[in-house]
Amino acid sequence: MADHLEPHSVQPFGYYGAIIHSLSPETLEIIEQGLIVIDGAGKIALVERKVDRSKIKEVLVKHGFDGSTKIEILDNGQFLIPGLIDTHNHAPQWTQRGTGRGRLLMDWLNTITFPHESRFADPEYAKVTYASCVDGFINQGITTASYYGSLHGEATKILAETCLEKGQRAFVGKCNMNRNAPDFYKDASASESIQVTEDFISHVRKIDPTARLVTPILTPRFAIACDAEVLTGLGQIAAKNPDLPIQTHFDEAEQEMEITKELFPEFDNEADLYEHFGLLNRRSILAHCIYVGEYEMGRLKALDCGVSHCPVSNTTGGMFGMAPIREYLRRGIKVSLGTDSGGGYSSSIIDAMRQAFVVSVARETLCGGKDTSLSVAECFFMATLGGAQVCCLEDKIGNFVVGKEFDALEIQTVGPHSGTITPIEDIDKLPDLFEKFIMTGDDRNIAKVYVKGRQIKG
């Protein structure tokens, strides 16, 4: 435990070669002959374009760096991208990922999910399983994840500690759910639900006082599982702690929306409901957002809430859900990607990018052509800078800008360990490599993973 309490520091270093990142949803910048320098605090200290390889030392010195700073040279087939951001992830579903496909939401929760999550009552099980889980997502290049824990305070503390120890940036939340769940898996009472949440928040603030890596997040599962007392209590915590992020499921399924309406007939829609309880603000991460009407879109925009688009689970649950991402982008609503592991079968945000493209093609084809499909660049934006915006971390991470922290992946598209990516040929240029990686790459092409300048894979 001592290690992660140490102040974070790395030896200054840098990269030279191809660097690819988003500047906006539409603008993908492909930097050739780039030089990036990371300082001792893990922050980006320099980004230069079109640097002749023979002039690296000269450029370093000119900008006040030690000319002997270690610079990793990216060869042909290698490039740097920002770390991937997964804004919707259920850590205690790690070992059920992909099972029970085809079931409608409530059936799937009761049959598959709640029995699995209830196992996290055992801290030893939590320790082993969360270690595997966080390792698994780091292997997939996920440098920031917003995790739902189980309802257990102890297990969720273990999840936060695991992220900290392994060096993954994370939002971690104790899941609130005190009704419409089986007796073996629900909060004993509203007051206990809130008390465990407050205790969990204190614990995370103790182990990572400056939120260097891990931040607690308020996590009402959804209004079906939380009574008004729990939602009120969470809203009060949010009011007292305006820096706290909040996450919940939002307009995910017709079935879910109907039940919510029955439970809270006083609200016309979920936006009004969560806003009433003080849970909708610029730090809110709303998962799915498939069936969001005109009025609710207006509220999401006005309140600056973020959307976590989860195309893998949305297309393999009992219904085919097509979130209106083009419309969100058009209105300037913040959008990002979530694996939604384990409702989503994949632990990879690369798969989420591909399926986001698929869903957007479906919308264009099936919704009268108003919503044009997403470009590969737009999918990549959602996985990086869009994710940072949704987490309100866009000043810290999301792309390669001086002053931001270095969360990055070294991508390897050639060589004996490059997996099943489409072979790279001599005629391929950087945009071809990038497209081949996004459409056909996997974790084997993620050679190294950095968070805050610290290498945590490879």
- Residues near a copy of itself, by CB under 8 A: 94-99, 101-102, 129, 132, 136, 139-140, 315-320, 342, 345-348, 354, 357-358, 361-362, 364-366, 373, 375-376, 419-420, 422-423, 425, 432, 435-436, 439-440, 442-443
Instruction: Cite the DSSP H helix spans in 167-323.
Output: 190-207, 228-240, 254-263, 270-276, 294-303, 311-314
> At its nearest, how many Å lie between a copy of itself and the CB of residue 347?
6
∠217-219-224 over CA atoms, to 5°?
170
CB nearer a copy of itself, residue 16 or residue 434: 434
CB nearer a copy of itself, residue 248 or residue 355: 355
CB nearer a copy of itself, residue 264 or residue 381: 381
> At its nearest, how many Å lie between a copy of itself and the CB of residue 99?
5
Report the distance separating Cα 365 and Cα 247, nearest Å.
31
Report the distance separating Cα 434 and Cα 429, nearest Å.
9
> At its nearest, how many Å lie between a copy of itself and the CB of residue 314?
10
Q: Could you count the other beta carbons within 10 Å of the beta carbon of residue 263?
A: 17
> At its nearest, how many Å lie between a copy of itself and the CB of residue 297?
22
CB nearer a copy of itself, residue 152 or residue 354: 354
Here the tokens at position 85 are: 């951001």
Per the CB < 8 A criterion, the answer to whether 125 and 131 are in contact is: no
Q: Could you count the other beta carbons within 10 Å of the beta carbon of residue 447?
A: 17
CB nearer a copy of itself, residue 203 or residue 288: 288
> Contacts from 412-421 at CB under 8 Å and sequence distance 24+?
412/77, 412/78, 412/445, 412/446, 412/447, 413/77, 413/78, 413/437, 413/441, 413/445, 414/76, 414/77, 414/78, 415/77, 417/444, 418/77, 418/444, 418/445, 419/443, 419/444, 419/445, 420/444, 421/445
CB nearer a copy of itself, residue 142 or residue 388: 142
> At its nearest, how many Å lie between a copy of itself and the CB of residue 341?
9
CB nearer a copy of itself, residue 67 or residue 458: 458
> Contacts from 395-398 at CB under 8 Å and sequence distance 24+?
397/82, 397/83, 397/85, 397/143, 397/144, 397/169, 398/22, 398/82, 398/85
> At its nearest, how many Å lie between a copy of itself and the CB of residue 102?
6
CB nearer a copy of itself, residue 317 or residue 338: 317
> At its nearest, how many Å lie between a copy of itself and the CB of residue 67?
40
> At its nearest, how many Å lie between a copy of itself and the CB of residue 360?
9
Contacting residues for 11 by C-beta, under 8 A, at least 6 apart: 40, 70
CB nearer a copy of itself, residue 71 or residue 322: 322
> At its nearest, how many Å lie between a copy of itself and the CB of residue 255?
13
3-class secondary-structure state, position 148? strand
Q: Could you count the other beta carbons within 10 Å of the beta carbon of residue 317?
A: 24
CB nearer a copy of itself, residue 12 or residue 98: 98
Here the tokens at position 291 are: 């069936």
Q: Decide the pairing of beta strands 28-38 and 13-22.
A: antiparallel
Phi, psi of 336 (to 5 degrees): -145, -175
Per the CB < 8 A criterion, the answer to whether 143 and 450 are in contact is: yes
CB nearer a copy of itself, residue 214 or residue 374: 374
Residue with tokens 């610029």: 282
Query: Residue 184 CA to chain centroid, in angstroms?
Result: 29
> At its nearest, how many Å lie between a copy of itself and the CB of residue 152?
18
Per the CB < 8 A criterion, the answer to whether 347 and 338 are in contact is: no
> At its nearest, how many Å lie between a copy of itself and the CB of residue 245?
27
